[in-house]
Structure 1
Amino acid sequence: MLDKSKVTGSVSNDNVSEQEIARFNALAQEWWDPNGKYKTALAFNAARTEYMIAQLASCHGRDPSSPDCLEGLRILDVGCGGGLISEALAKRGAIVTGVDASAMSIEVARRHAQQSGLLVDYRHCLAGQLLAEDERFDVVINAEVVEHVPDQAALINDCARLVKPSGSLVLATLNRTVKSWIIAILGAEYVMRYLPIGTHDWKMFVKPEELAGWVAPEHFKLVNETGMKLNPITGVWRLSYSLAVNYIQIYRR
Protein backbone atom coordinates (compact mmCIF):
# COMPACT_ATOMS: atom_id res chain seq x y z
CA MET A 1 0.00 0.00 0.00
CA LEU A 2 0.99 3.59 -0.58
CA ASP A 3 2.66 5.33 2.36
CA LYS A 4 0.63 8.54 2.49
CA SER A 5 3.25 10.28 4.58
CA LYS A 6 5.52 10.20 1.55
CA VAL A 7 3.11 11.81 -0.87
CA THR A 8 0.70 14.12 0.91
CA GLY A 9 3.18 16.92 1.47
CA SER A 10 4.72 17.33 -1.97
CA VAL A 11 4.61 16.19 -5.56
CA SER A 12 7.76 15.60 -7.58
CA ASN A 13 7.32 14.88 -11.28
CA ASP A 14 8.36 16.56 -14.50
CA ASN A 15 4.93 15.97 -16.07
CA VAL A 16 3.30 18.81 -14.11
CA SER A 17 2.67 22.36 -15.23
CA GLU A 18 3.27 24.69 -12.27
CA GLN A 19 1.18 27.35 -14.01
CA GLU A 20 -1.78 24.97 -14.25
CA ILE A 21 -1.44 23.95 -10.59
CA ALA A 22 -1.39 27.60 -9.49
CA ARG A 23 -4.50 28.34 -11.54
CA PHE A 24 -6.47 25.48 -10.03
CA ASN A 25 -5.27 26.31 -6.52
CA ALA A 26 -7.01 29.64 -6.97
CA LEU A 27 -10.18 28.01 -8.30
CA ALA A 28 -10.50 25.17 -5.79
CA GLN A 29 -12.38 27.08 -3.10
CA GLU A 30 -15.15 28.02 -5.50
CA TRP A 31 -15.79 24.67 -7.17
CA TRP A 32 -18.59 23.52 -4.88
CA ASP A 33 -20.66 26.73 -4.83
CA PRO A 34 -23.92 25.89 -6.71
CA ASN A 35 -24.72 29.57 -7.05
CA GLY A 36 -21.21 30.69 -7.91
CA LYS A 37 -19.56 31.32 -11.21
CA TYR A 38 -18.88 27.60 -11.71
CA LYS A 39 -22.51 26.50 -11.55
CA THR A 40 -22.31 25.57 -15.25
CA ALA A 41 -19.34 23.32 -14.49
CA LEU A 42 -21.28 21.71 -11.64
CA ALA A 43 -24.18 21.02 -14.01
CA PHE A 44 -21.69 19.59 -16.51
CA ASN A 45 -20.25 17.33 -13.83
CA ALA A 46 -23.69 16.04 -12.84
CA ALA A 47 -24.41 15.02 -16.44
CA ARG A 48 -21.06 13.36 -17.06
CA THR A 49 -21.03 11.40 -13.78
CA GLU A 50 -24.53 10.08 -14.48
CA TYR A 51 -23.24 8.71 -17.78
CA MET A 52 -20.04 7.33 -16.23
CA ILE A 53 -21.88 5.57 -13.41
CA ALA A 54 -24.35 3.92 -15.79
CA GLN A 55 -21.56 2.73 -18.08
CA LEU A 56 -19.34 1.44 -15.28
CA ALA A 57 -22.22 -0.41 -13.65
CA SER A 58 -23.00 -2.13 -16.95
CA CYS A 59 -19.34 -2.94 -17.63
CA HIS A 60 -19.01 -4.61 -14.24
CA GLY A 61 -22.29 -6.53 -14.30
CA ARG A 62 -24.28 -4.22 -12.04
CA ASP A 63 -27.76 -2.74 -12.29
CA PRO A 64 -27.26 0.98 -13.10
CA SER A 65 -30.56 1.84 -11.42
CA SER A 66 -29.43 0.43 -8.07
CA PRO A 67 -28.39 3.12 -5.57
CA ASP A 68 -25.30 1.08 -4.67
CA CYS A 69 -24.46 -0.10 -8.20
CA LEU A 70 -20.73 0.56 -7.74
CA GLU A 71 -20.44 -1.13 -4.33
CA GLY A 72 -17.05 -2.74 -3.79
CA LEU A 73 -15.44 -1.38 -6.94
CA ARG A 74 -12.09 0.26 -6.25
CA ILE A 75 -11.99 3.42 -8.36
CA LEU A 76 -9.18 5.92 -8.91
CA ASP A 77 -10.05 9.50 -9.89
CA VAL A 78 -6.88 10.99 -11.42
CA GLY A 79 -6.78 14.78 -11.20
CA CYS A 80 -9.76 14.77 -8.84
CA GLY A 81 -9.68 18.51 -8.14
CA GLY A 82 -12.22 19.40 -5.49
CA GLY A 83 -13.79 15.93 -5.61
CA LEU A 84 -16.75 16.46 -7.92
CA ILE A 85 -16.51 13.04 -9.57
CA SER A 86 -15.11 11.24 -6.53
CA GLU A 87 -18.07 12.11 -4.33
CA ALA A 88 -20.61 11.05 -6.96
CA LEU A 89 -18.93 7.64 -7.19
CA ALA A 90 -18.67 7.25 -3.41
CA LYS A 91 -22.40 7.94 -3.08
CA ARG A 92 -23.02 4.89 -5.26
CA GLY A 93 -20.93 2.60 -3.08
CA ALA A 94 -17.52 2.75 -4.75
CA ILE A 95 -14.26 2.64 -2.79
CA VAL A 96 -12.76 5.84 -4.16
CA THR A 97 -9.22 7.18 -4.21
CA GLY A 98 -8.77 10.70 -5.55
CA VAL A 99 -5.34 12.09 -6.44
CA ASP A 100 -4.32 15.55 -7.56
CA ALA A 101 -1.16 17.62 -8.01
CA SER A 102 -2.77 20.56 -6.20
CA ALA A 103 -2.50 20.37 -2.41
CA MET A 104 -5.22 23.00 -2.00
CA SER A 105 -7.63 21.06 -4.20
CA ILE A 106 -7.06 17.95 -2.13
CA GLU A 107 -7.71 19.88 1.07
CA VAL A 108 -10.94 21.31 -0.34
CA ALA A 109 -12.01 17.83 -1.45
CA ARG A 110 -11.28 16.33 1.96
CA ARG A 111 -13.23 19.00 3.80
CA HIS A 112 -16.23 18.73 1.50
CA ALA A 113 -16.31 14.94 1.77
CA GLN A 114 -16.31 15.22 5.56
CA GLN A 115 -19.16 17.71 5.41
CA SER A 116 -21.05 15.34 3.11
CA GLY A 117 -20.46 12.33 5.35
CA LEU A 118 -18.56 10.47 2.60
CA LEU A 119 -15.41 8.38 2.88
CA VAL A 120 -12.98 9.18 0.05
CA ASP A 121 -9.24 8.52 0.17
CA TYR A 122 -7.77 11.79 -1.13
CA ARG A 123 -4.02 11.94 -1.74
CA HIS A 124 -1.73 14.75 -2.85
CA CYS A 125 0.21 12.75 -5.41
CA LEU A 126 0.37 11.75 -9.07
CA ALA A 127 -0.69 8.64 -10.96
CA GLY A 128 2.93 7.65 -11.51
CA GLN A 129 3.54 7.51 -7.77
CA LEU A 130 0.72 4.98 -7.39
CA LEU A 131 2.31 2.87 -10.12
CA ALA A 132 5.59 2.93 -8.23
CA GLU A 133 3.77 1.53 -5.20
CA ASP A 134 2.23 -1.22 -7.38
CA GLU A 135 -1.37 -0.11 -6.77
CA ARG A 136 -4.10 -1.26 -9.19
CA PHE A 137 -7.78 -0.38 -9.49
CA ASP A 138 -10.97 -1.82 -10.96
CA VAL A 139 -11.63 1.54 -12.61
CA VAL A 140 -9.41 4.50 -13.41
CA ILE A 141 -10.93 7.84 -14.43
CA ASN A 142 -9.07 10.71 -16.07
CA ALA A 143 -11.55 13.50 -16.74
CA GLU A 144 -10.61 16.95 -18.07
CA VAL A 145 -7.00 16.52 -16.95
CA VAL A 146 -5.01 15.42 -19.99
CA GLU A 147 -5.41 18.82 -21.68
CA HIS A 148 -3.51 20.43 -18.80
CA VAL A 149 -0.30 18.36 -18.71
CA PRO A 150 2.90 18.65 -20.77
CA ASP A 151 3.31 14.93 -21.61
CA GLN A 152 -0.19 13.79 -22.43
CA ALA A 153 0.71 10.32 -23.70
CA ALA A 154 2.66 9.57 -20.52
CA LEU A 155 -0.28 10.49 -18.31
CA ILE A 156 -2.71 8.30 -20.25
CA ASN A 157 -0.20 5.44 -20.21
CA ASP A 158 0.11 5.72 -16.43
CA CYS A 159 -3.67 5.66 -16.05
CA ALA A 160 -3.99 2.62 -18.33
CA ARG A 161 -1.32 0.69 -16.45
CA LEU A 162 -3.13 1.32 -13.16
CA VAL A 163 -6.18 -0.64 -14.34
CA LYS A 164 -6.55 -4.25 -13.18
CA PRO A 165 -7.14 -7.05 -15.69
CA SER A 166 -10.78 -6.88 -16.88
CA GLY A 167 -10.96 -3.36 -15.42
CA SER A 168 -12.28 -0.16 -16.98
CA LEU A 169 -10.68 3.11 -18.05
CA VAL A 170 -12.69 6.32 -18.41
CA LEU A 171 -11.18 9.20 -20.37
CA ALA A 172 -12.86 12.58 -20.83
CA THR A 173 -11.48 15.71 -22.46
CA LEU A 174 -12.05 18.24 -25.25
CA ASN A 175 -11.58 17.55 -28.95
CA ARG A 176 -9.18 19.71 -30.94
CA THR A 177 -11.56 21.03 -33.59
CA VAL A 178 -12.60 24.39 -34.95
CA LYS A 179 -15.95 23.91 -33.23
CA SER A 180 -14.29 23.32 -29.85
CA TRP A 181 -12.28 26.54 -30.20
CA ILE A 182 -15.45 28.49 -30.97
CA ILE A 183 -17.50 26.93 -28.16
CA ALA A 184 -15.02 26.05 -25.41
CA ILE A 185 -12.59 28.95 -25.80
CA LEU A 186 -14.33 31.87 -27.48
CA GLY A 187 -17.83 31.11 -26.18
CA ALA A 188 -17.23 29.62 -22.71
CA GLU A 189 -14.33 31.86 -21.65
CA TYR A 190 -14.60 35.14 -23.57
CA VAL A 191 -18.33 35.54 -24.27
CA MET A 192 -20.35 33.65 -21.63
CA ARG A 193 -17.59 33.71 -18.96
CA TYR A 194 -18.49 30.21 -17.76
CA LEU A 195 -14.75 29.79 -17.09
CA PRO A 196 -11.95 32.30 -16.48
CA ILE A 197 -10.12 33.41 -19.60
CA GLY A 198 -7.06 31.23 -20.08
CA THR A 199 -8.51 28.12 -18.39
CA HIS A 200 -7.88 26.11 -21.56
CA ASP A 201 -5.27 26.10 -24.29
CA TRP A 202 -6.89 24.86 -27.51
CA LYS A 203 -3.58 23.45 -28.76
CA MET A 204 -3.64 21.03 -25.81
CA PHE A 205 -7.06 19.60 -26.69
CA VAL A 206 -6.93 15.91 -27.68
CA LYS A 207 -8.60 14.12 -30.57
CA PRO A 208 -10.40 10.83 -29.79
CA GLU A 209 -8.09 8.88 -32.09
CA GLU A 210 -5.09 10.23 -30.20
CA LEU A 211 -6.47 8.90 -26.91
CA ALA A 212 -7.18 5.56 -28.56
CA GLY A 213 -3.60 5.41 -29.82
CA TRP A 214 -2.14 6.09 -26.39
CA VAL A 215 -4.34 3.41 -24.80
CA ALA A 216 -3.75 0.75 -27.47
CA PRO A 217 -0.41 -0.62 -26.13
CA GLU A 218 -2.17 -1.64 -22.89
CA HIS A 219 -4.71 -3.79 -24.81
CA PHE A 220 -7.92 -1.90 -24.11
CA LYS A 221 -11.11 -2.04 -26.17
CA LEU A 222 -13.36 0.98 -26.64
CA VAL A 223 -16.82 -0.07 -25.45
CA ASN A 224 -18.72 3.23 -25.45
CA GLU A 225 -18.26 6.93 -26.11
CA THR A 226 -20.41 10.02 -26.08
CA GLY A 227 -20.20 13.73 -26.63
CA MET A 228 -21.74 16.33 -24.38
CA LYS A 229 -23.69 19.42 -25.38
CA LEU A 230 -24.92 22.45 -23.42
CA ASN A 231 -28.24 24.15 -24.01
CA PRO A 232 -27.19 27.80 -23.46
CA ILE A 233 -30.77 28.88 -22.76
CA THR A 234 -31.71 26.31 -20.11
CA GLY A 235 -28.19 25.62 -18.86
CA VAL A 236 -28.85 21.89 -19.15
CA TRP A 237 -26.16 19.50 -20.36
CA ARG A 238 -27.12 16.41 -22.35
CA LEU A 239 -25.37 13.56 -24.12
CA SER A 240 -24.67 14.04 -27.83
CA TYR A 241 -23.62 11.88 -30.77
CA SER A 242 -21.12 14.56 -31.72
CA LEU A 243 -17.63 14.28 -30.24
CA ALA A 244 -16.59 17.64 -31.68
CA VAL A 245 -16.28 19.45 -28.33
CA ASN A 246 -16.54 17.62 -24.96
CA TYR A 247 -16.45 13.83 -25.10
CA ILE A 248 -16.08 10.76 -22.87
CA GLN A 249 -14.68 7.35 -23.76
CA ILE A 250 -15.11 4.08 -21.84
CA TYR A 251 -12.48 1.35 -22.33
CA ARG A 252 -12.23 -2.23 -21.01
CA ARG A 253 -9.19 -4.49 -20.79
Structure 2
Amino acid sequence: MLDKSQLSQPINDNTSAQEIARFNQMAREWWDPNGKFKTALAFNTTRAAYMIQHLAYCHNRDPNSERCLQGLSVLDVGCGGGLISEALARKGADVTGIDASAVSIEVAKAHAAQSGLNIRYSHHLAEQEVQAGNKYDIVINAEVVEHVPDQPALIGQCAQLVSPKGTLVLATLNRTWLSWLIAIVGAEYVMRYLPVGTHDWKQFVKPVELASWVKPEKFESVYETGMKLNPLSGQWRLSSSLKVNYIQLYKRHFID
Protein backbone atom coordinates (compact mmCIF):
# COMPACT_ATOMS: atom_id res chain seq x y z
CA MET A 1 0.00 0.00 0.00
CA LEU A 2 1.12 3.57 -0.69
CA ASP A 3 2.19 5.70 2.27
CA LYS A 4 1.50 9.37 1.66
CA SER A 5 2.56 10.49 5.13
CA GLN A 6 6.28 10.63 4.37
CA LEU A 7 8.05 13.02 2.04
CA SER A 8 9.80 11.43 -0.92
CA GLN A 9 13.27 12.56 -1.87
CA PRO A 10 13.15 16.10 -3.28
CA ILE A 11 13.96 16.77 -6.89
CA ASN A 12 17.41 18.27 -7.33
CA ASP A 13 17.11 22.06 -7.68
CA ASN A 14 19.71 21.87 -10.43
CA THR A 15 17.23 20.22 -12.76
CA SER A 16 18.47 19.54 -16.27
CA ALA A 17 16.59 20.27 -19.48
CA GLN A 18 16.25 16.51 -19.89
CA GLU A 19 14.52 16.23 -16.50
CA ILE A 20 12.17 19.09 -17.34
CA ALA A 21 11.27 17.36 -20.60
CA ARG A 22 10.59 14.14 -18.67
CA PHE A 23 8.16 15.86 -16.28
CA ASN A 24 6.43 17.60 -19.18
CA GLN A 25 5.91 14.23 -20.86
CA MET A 26 4.63 12.67 -17.62
CA ALA A 27 2.16 15.53 -17.25
CA ARG A 28 0.81 14.94 -20.75
CA GLU A 29 0.42 11.21 -20.00
CA TRP A 30 -1.19 11.85 -16.61
CA TRP A 31 -3.77 14.15 -18.16
CA ASP A 32 -4.43 12.20 -21.38
CA PRO A 33 -8.20 11.43 -21.43
CA ASN A 34 -7.53 8.40 -23.64
CA GLY A 35 -4.44 7.20 -21.79
CA LYS A 36 -3.82 4.82 -18.92
CA PHE A 37 -5.19 7.32 -16.38
CA LYS A 38 -8.49 7.89 -18.22
CA THR A 39 -10.57 6.28 -15.43
CA ALA A 40 -9.02 8.61 -12.85
CA LEU A 41 -9.67 11.59 -15.12
CA ALA A 42 -13.31 10.60 -15.62
CA PHE A 43 -13.63 10.15 -11.85
CA ASN A 44 -12.17 13.59 -11.27
CA THR A 45 -14.53 15.27 -13.74
CA THR A 46 -17.55 14.13 -11.74
CA ARG A 47 -15.87 14.65 -8.36
CA ALA A 48 -14.62 18.17 -9.14
CA ALA A 49 -17.98 19.29 -10.57
CA TYR A 50 -19.72 18.26 -7.35
CA MET A 51 -17.11 20.00 -5.21
CA ILE A 52 -17.27 23.25 -7.19
CA GLN A 53 -21.07 23.41 -7.08
CA HIS A 54 -21.31 22.79 -3.35
CA LEU A 55 -18.34 24.95 -2.43
CA ALA A 56 -20.12 27.76 -4.23
CA TYR A 57 -23.22 27.09 -2.11
CA CYS A 58 -21.11 27.05 1.08
CA HIS A 59 -19.58 30.43 0.25
CA ASN A 60 -22.77 32.10 -1.03
CA ARG A 61 -21.68 32.08 -4.67
CA ASP A 62 -23.59 31.29 -7.85
CA PRO A 63 -22.30 27.88 -9.00
CA ASN A 64 -23.23 28.76 -12.58
CA SER A 65 -20.85 31.71 -12.60
CA GLU A 66 -17.70 31.13 -14.63
CA ARG A 67 -15.53 32.40 -11.74
CA CYS A 68 -17.69 31.26 -8.84
CA LEU A 69 -14.71 30.64 -6.53
CA GLN A 70 -12.98 33.94 -7.29
CA GLY A 71 -10.86 35.17 -4.37
CA LEU A 72 -11.24 32.08 -2.20
CA SER A 73 -8.00 30.55 -0.92
CA VAL A 74 -7.74 26.77 -1.34
CA LEU A 75 -5.29 24.20 0.03
CA ASP A 76 -5.32 20.89 -1.85
CA VAL A 77 -3.64 18.38 0.51
CA GLY A 78 -2.18 15.45 -1.41
CA CYS A 79 -2.74 17.23 -4.73
CA GLY A 80 -1.00 14.58 -6.86
CA GLY A 81 -0.76 15.76 -10.46
CA GLY A 82 -3.14 18.66 -9.83
CA LEU A 83 -6.49 17.26 -10.98
CA ILE A 84 -8.58 19.04 -8.34
CA SER A 85 -6.24 22.03 -8.04
CA GLU A 86 -6.63 22.90 -11.72
CA ALA A 87 -10.41 22.47 -11.70
CA LEU A 88 -10.77 24.93 -8.83
CA ALA A 89 -8.19 27.35 -10.23
CA ARG A 90 -10.20 27.55 -13.45
CA LYS A 91 -13.12 28.75 -11.34
CA GLY A 92 -11.09 31.61 -9.94
CA ALA A 93 -9.82 30.08 -6.69
CA ASP A 94 -6.38 30.99 -5.34
CA VAL A 95 -4.96 27.46 -5.10
CA THR A 96 -2.03 25.97 -3.22
CA GLY A 97 -1.30 22.28 -3.79
CA ILE A 98 0.95 20.21 -1.52
CA ASP A 99 2.04 16.60 -1.80
CA ALA A 100 4.46 14.16 -0.17
CA SER A 101 5.62 13.05 -3.61
CA ALA A 102 8.28 15.25 -5.22
CA VAL A 103 7.56 13.73 -8.62
CA SER A 104 3.82 14.47 -8.35
CA ILE A 105 4.60 18.10 -7.55
CA GLU A 106 6.88 18.44 -10.58
CA VAL A 107 4.22 16.86 -12.81
CA ALA A 108 1.58 19.22 -11.40
CA LYS A 109 3.83 22.23 -11.99
CA ALA A 110 4.53 21.14 -15.56
CA HIS A 111 0.86 20.71 -16.44
CA ALA A 112 -0.19 23.97 -14.80
CA ALA A 113 2.43 25.75 -16.91
CA GLN A 114 1.16 23.99 -20.04
CA SER A 115 -2.39 25.10 -19.11
CA GLY A 116 -1.47 28.67 -18.31
CA LEU A 117 -2.68 28.38 -14.71
CA ASN A 118 -1.09 30.13 -11.74
CA ILE A 119 -1.11 27.50 -8.98
CA ARG A 120 1.39 27.30 -6.13
CA TYR A 121 2.69 23.76 -5.72
CA SER A 122 4.98 22.71 -2.90
CA HIS A 123 6.62 19.46 -1.78
CA HIS A 124 5.62 19.30 1.87
CA LEU A 125 3.04 17.97 4.33
CA ALA A 126 -0.10 19.31 6.03
CA GLU A 127 1.61 19.35 9.42
CA GLN A 128 4.11 21.89 8.06
CA GLU A 129 1.21 24.13 7.04
CA VAL A 130 -0.16 23.86 10.59
CA GLN A 131 3.23 24.72 12.07
CA ALA A 132 3.39 27.79 9.83
CA GLY A 133 0.01 28.95 11.17
CA ASN A 134 -1.61 29.04 7.74
CA LYS A 135 -5.39 29.21 7.24
CA TYR A 136 -7.48 28.73 4.08
CA ASP A 137 -11.08 29.34 3.06
CA ILE A 138 -11.22 25.81 1.66
CA VAL A 139 -9.12 22.76 2.54
CA ILE A 140 -9.43 19.60 0.44
CA ASN A 141 -8.21 16.13 1.32
CA ALA A 142 -9.30 13.78 -1.47
CA GLU A 143 -8.29 10.12 -1.80
CA VAL A 144 -5.34 10.60 0.56
CA VAL A 145 -6.41 9.52 4.05
CA GLU A 146 -6.66 5.86 3.04
CA HIS A 147 -2.93 5.95 2.29
CA VAL A 148 -1.60 7.19 5.64
CA PRO A 149 -0.99 5.27 8.90
CA ASP A 150 -2.18 7.99 11.33
CA GLN A 151 -5.49 8.93 9.78
CA PRO A 152 -7.00 10.98 12.66
CA ALA A 153 -3.85 13.10 12.79
CA LEU A 154 -4.00 13.98 9.08
CA ILE A 155 -7.71 14.84 9.16
CA GLY A 156 -7.18 16.85 12.33
CA GLN A 157 -4.40 18.83 10.66
CA CYS A 158 -6.60 19.56 7.65
CA ALA A 159 -9.39 20.74 9.97
CA GLN A 160 -7.00 23.08 11.81
CA LEU A 161 -6.04 24.69 8.50
CA VAL A 162 -9.60 25.83 7.73
CA SER A 163 -10.42 29.48 8.46
CA PRO A 164 -13.30 30.23 10.89
CA LYS A 165 -15.83 30.65 8.07
CA GLY A 166 -14.24 28.03 5.85
CA THR A 167 -15.09 24.65 4.37
CA LEU A 168 -13.41 21.28 4.68
CA VAL A 169 -13.80 18.78 1.83
CA LEU A 170 -13.02 15.11 2.49
CA ALA A 171 -13.22 12.30 -0.07
CA THR A 172 -12.22 8.68 0.39
CA LEU A 173 -13.42 5.06 0.31
CA ASN A 174 -15.84 3.55 2.81
CA ARG A 175 -14.83 0.37 4.67
CA THR A 176 -17.60 -1.96 3.54
CA TRP A 177 -17.72 -5.37 1.90
CA LEU A 178 -18.91 -3.65 -1.30
CA SER A 179 -15.88 -1.35 -1.40
CA TRP A 180 -13.59 -4.37 -1.02
CA LEU A 181 -15.36 -6.09 -3.92
CA ILE A 182 -15.44 -3.04 -6.23
CA ALA A 183 -12.39 -0.95 -5.33
CA ILE A 184 -9.91 -3.77 -4.72
CA VAL A 185 -11.06 -6.97 -6.42
CA GLY A 186 -12.71 -5.20 -9.35
CA ALA A 187 -10.52 -2.13 -9.87
CA GLU A 188 -7.13 -3.71 -9.11
CA TYR A 189 -7.40 -7.41 -9.97
CA VAL A 190 -10.12 -7.64 -12.65
CA MET A 191 -10.29 -4.34 -14.56
CA ARG A 192 -6.68 -3.28 -13.76
CA TYR A 193 -7.71 0.37 -13.40
CA LEU A 194 -5.13 0.59 -10.59
CA PRO A 195 -1.93 -1.32 -9.80
CA VAL A 196 -2.47 -4.31 -7.52
CA GLY A 197 -1.72 -3.26 -3.95
CA THR A 198 -2.74 0.38 -4.40
CA HIS A 199 -5.27 0.06 -1.57
CA ASP A 200 -5.51 -1.74 1.75
CA TRP A 201 -9.17 -2.31 2.63
CA LYS A 202 -8.41 -2.03 6.36
CA GLN A 203 -7.34 1.58 5.72
CA PHE A 204 -10.68 2.57 4.19
CA VAL A 205 -12.60 5.06 6.36
CA LYS A 206 -16.23 5.12 7.40
CA PRO A 207 -18.08 8.47 7.20
CA VAL A 208 -18.78 8.39 10.94
CA GLU A 209 -15.05 8.13 11.57
CA LEU A 210 -14.32 11.24 9.52
CA ALA A 211 -17.04 13.09 11.43
CA SER A 212 -15.50 12.10 14.77
CA TRP A 213 -12.01 13.24 13.68
CA VAL A 214 -13.18 16.76 12.73
CA LYS A 215 -15.49 17.16 15.73
CA PRO A 216 -12.79 18.70 18.00
CA GLU A 217 -12.48 21.54 15.49
CA LYS A 218 -16.25 22.24 15.67
CA PHE A 219 -17.33 21.14 12.20
CA GLU A 220 -20.68 19.90 11.01
CA SER A 221 -21.46 17.98 7.82
CA VAL A 222 -23.43 20.03 5.30
CA TYR A 223 -23.26 18.04 2.06
CA GLU A 224 -22.33 14.51 1.09
CA THR A 225 -22.60 12.20 -1.91
CA GLY A 226 -21.45 8.82 -3.09
CA MET A 227 -19.99 8.03 -6.50
CA LYS A 228 -20.51 5.04 -8.78
CA LEU A 229 -18.76 3.86 -11.94
CA ASN A 230 -20.62 2.43 -14.92
CA PRO A 231 -18.14 -0.28 -16.03
CA LEU A 232 -19.61 -0.41 -19.54
CA SER A 233 -19.48 3.29 -20.35
CA GLY A 234 -16.56 4.16 -18.06
CA GLN A 235 -18.56 7.12 -16.76
CA TRP A 236 -18.92 8.11 -13.11
CA ARG A 237 -22.12 9.47 -11.59
CA LEU A 238 -23.23 10.75 -8.22
CA SER A 239 -25.08 8.33 -5.95
CA SER A 240 -27.05 8.47 -2.71
CA SER A 241 -25.09 5.44 -1.52
CA LEU A 242 -21.87 6.11 0.41
CA LYS A 243 -20.87 2.44 0.45
CA VAL A 244 -17.84 2.80 -1.87
CA ASN A 245 -16.46 6.23 -2.92
CA TYR A 246 -17.89 9.24 -1.13
CA ILE A 247 -17.38 13.00 -0.66
CA GLN A 248 -18.26 15.10 2.40
CA LEU A 249 -18.26 18.87 2.93
CA TYR A 250 -17.99 20.28 6.45
CA LYS A 251 -18.51 23.81 7.78
CA ARG A 252 -17.52 25.20 11.16
CA HIS A 253 -20.61 25.76 13.33
CA PHE A 254 -19.06 28.66 15.23
CA ILE A 255 -16.99 31.74 14.41
CA ASP A 256 -13.88 32.67 16.41
Same fold (TM over 0.5): yes
Amino acid at match of 2:79: C
- 1:93-138 Cα offsets, whole Å, 9 max, x none, are 0000000000000000001000000000000000110111111000
The question of whether the paired residues in 2 share the 8 Å contact of 1:17 and 1:148 is answered with: no
Q: Which runs of 5+ in 2 are unaligned?
A: 9-22
Letter paired with 2:151: Q
Report deviation, 1:33: 2.1
> 1:61 aligns to what?
60
Could you tell me which residue of structure 2 aligns to residue 247 of structure 1?
Answer: 246
- 1:212 alignment counterpart: 211
Identify the residue that residue 11 of structure 1 maps to in structure 2.
none
CA distances 1:141-181 after superposition (whole Å, capped 9, x unpaired): 00000000010000000000000001000000000000000
1:16 corresponds to 2:6: yes
Q: Which residue of 1 aligns with 2:16?
A: none
> In the alignment, which residue of structure 2 is the partner of 1:173?
172
Supply the AA of the counterpart residue of 1:125. Answer: H
Q: Is 1:143 the equivalent of 2:145?
A: no
Structure 1 residue 198 corresponds to structure 2 residue 197: yes
Separation of aligned partners in 1, 2:110 and 2:195: 24
Write the distance in 2 (CA, Å) between the matches of 1:171 and 1:16.
20
Report the AA paired with residue 148 of structure 1.
H
SS at match of 2:30: coil
Residue 243 of structure 2 aligns to which amino acid in structure 1? A
Q: Which residue does 1:9 correspond to in 2?
A: none
Matched positions, count = 232
Q: With structure 1 as the length reference, what TM-score do the two structures score?
A: 0.89
Hey, what does 2:102 align to over in structure 1?
A: 103
Amino acid at match of 1:218: E
Q: What is the RMSD of the two structures over their aligned residues, measured on CA atoms?
A: 1.5
Aligned equivalents of 2:243 and 2:6: distance in 1?
27
Following TM superposition, by how much is the alpha carbon of 1:17 offset from its aligned partner in structure 2, in angstroms? 8.1
Residue in structure 2 matched with residue 7 of structure 1 by the alignment: none
Secondary structure class of the residue paired with 1:71 = coil
Aligned partners of 1:117, 1:99: CA distance in 2, in Å?
Answer: 19
CA distance in 2, matches of 1:208, 1:61: 25
Conservation of the 8 A alpha-carbon contact between 1:16 and 1:150:
no
Residues 175 and 246, structure 1, Cα contact 8 Å, conserved in 2: yes
Q: Contact 1:226–1:243 (CA<8 Å) still a contact in 2?
A: yes
Equivalent residue, structure 2, for 1:45:
44
Matches of 1:198 and 1:131 in 2, distance apart? 31
1:35 aligns with 34
Does structure 1 conserve the Cα–Cα contact (< 8 Å) formed by 2:74 and 2:138? yes
2:30 counterpart letter in structure 1: W
Alignment gaps of 5+ in structure 1? 1-13, 19-24
SS at match of 1:195: coil
Distance 1:176 1:216 in 2: 20
Go from structure 1 to structure 2 and tell me whether the alpha carbon gap of 1:50 and 1:132 turns closer, same or farther (over 3 Å shift): same
Where do residues 58-137 of structure 1 align in structure 2 (5 Å cutoff)?
A: 58-137=57-136
Fraction of identical pairs, as percent: 69
Task: Spell out the pairing of 1:150-165 with structure 2 (5 A cutoff).
Answer: 150-165=149-164
Contact 1:17/1:150 (8 A) holds in 2: no
**Cα distance change, pair 131–17 in 1 and its aligned pair in 2 (3 A):** closer
Separation in structure 2 between the aligned mates of residue 67 and residue 195 of structure 1, nearest angstrom = 33
Q: Is the 8 A contact 2:5 2:100 kept in 1?
A: no
SS in 2 for 1:150: coil
